[in-house]
Amino acid sequence: MAEFVMPKLGADMEFGTLVVWRKQPGQMIHRGEILAEVETAKGVIEAEAFASGTIERLLTQPGEKVPIGTVMAVIRDNGAAAAVTAPGPTPVRPEPTVVATAIPAAPSSPPVDQTRLRISPAARRLAQERGVDPASVKGTGRGGAIMSEDIERAAAAKAALAVTAPLVAAPSTADKAAAMRQVIAAAMARSKREIPHYYLSTTIDMHRALNWLEQENARRPITNRLLYGALLLKAAALALREVPELNAVWQRDHVELKPAVHVGVAISLRQGGLVAPALHDTDRLTLDELMKNLLDLVSRARSGRLRGSEMSDPTITVTSLGEQGVEAVFGVIYPPQVALVGFGKIVERPWSVEGEIVSRPVITATLSADHRVSDGHRGAIFLAAVDRLLQEPEKL
Partner 1 sequence: MTSDEIRSTVIEALCQVAPEADPAQLRSNISFRSQLDIDSMDFLRFVLALHEKLGIDIPEKDYPRLTTLDGCITYLTRPGSS
Residues interacting with partner 1, by CB under 8 A? 214, 217-218, 221-223, 225, 227, 229, 268, 270-271, 294-295, 298-299, 303, 323
The amino acid occupying position 192 is: K
Residue 129 or 296 with smaller CB distance to partner 1:
296
Residue 164 or 282 with smaller CB distance to partner 1:
282
Whether residue 315 contacts residue 55, with contact meaning beta carbons closer than 8 Å, is answered with no
**Minimum Å distance from CB 358 to partner 1?**
23
**Minimum Å distance from CB 331 to partner 1?**
17
Contacts of 200 (CB under 8 A, 6+ apart): 366, 367, 369, 376, 379, 380, 383
**Minimum Å distance from CB 314 to partner 1?**
18
**Minimum Å distance from CB 249 to partner 1?**
27
Peptide bond into 196 cis (omega under 30): no
Q: Which residues pair with 45 in a beta bridge?
A: 38, 306
**Minimum Å distance from CB 294 to partner 1?**
7
Where are the extended beta strands (E) located within the chain? 2-5, 15-21, 28-29, 34-40, 43-48, 53-58, 65-67, 71-76, 197-205, 248-251, 254-257, 263-265, 267-268, 274-275, 278-279, 306-307, 316-320, 339-343, 347-353, 356-370
3-state secondary structure 249-301: EEECCEEEECCCCCEEECEECCCCCEECCEECCHHHCCHHHHHHHHHHHHHHH
Residue 80 or 218 with smaller CB distance to partner 1:
218
* SS3 state at 344: coil
Helix axes 228-242, 376-390, angle to 10 degrees: 140
Residue 228 or 334 with smaller CB distance to partner 1:
228
Residue 114 or 223 with smaller CB distance to partner 1:
223
- As a whole number of Å, the end-to-end CA separation of the chain is 44
Q: Which of 122, 109, 118, 116 is nearest to 148 (CA)?
A: 122
**Minimum Å distance from CB 174 to partner 1?**
14
Instruction: Output DSSP code: residue 322.
Output: G
Whether residue 286 contacts residue 294, with contact meaning beta carbons closer than 8 Å, is answered with no
Residue 193 or 270 with smaller CB distance to partner 1:
270
DSSP for 232-245, written as a single string: HHHHHHHHHHHSGG
**Minimum Å distance from CB 232 to partner 1?**
12
**Minimum Å distance from CB 270 to partner 1?**
6
**Minimum Å distance from CB 36 to partner 1?**
25
* SS3 state at 118: coil
**Minimum Å distance from CB 297 to partner 1?**
10
Residue 123 CA to residue 152 CA, distance in Å, equals 9
Residue 135 or 298 with smaller CB distance to partner 1:
298
Residue 16 CA to residue 4 CA, distance in Å, equals 13
Residue 287 or 338 with smaller CB distance to partner 1:
287
Residue 323 or 375 with smaller CB distance to partner 1:
323
**H or E stretch at 219:** helix 207-219
Contacts of 318 (CB under 8 A, 6+ apart): 232, 233, 236, 263, 264, 265, 266, 340, 341, 342, 343
**Minimum Å distance from CB 298 to partner 1?**
5
Residue 229 or 314 with smaller CB distance to partner 1:
229
Residue 172 or 299 with smaller CB distance to partner 1:
299
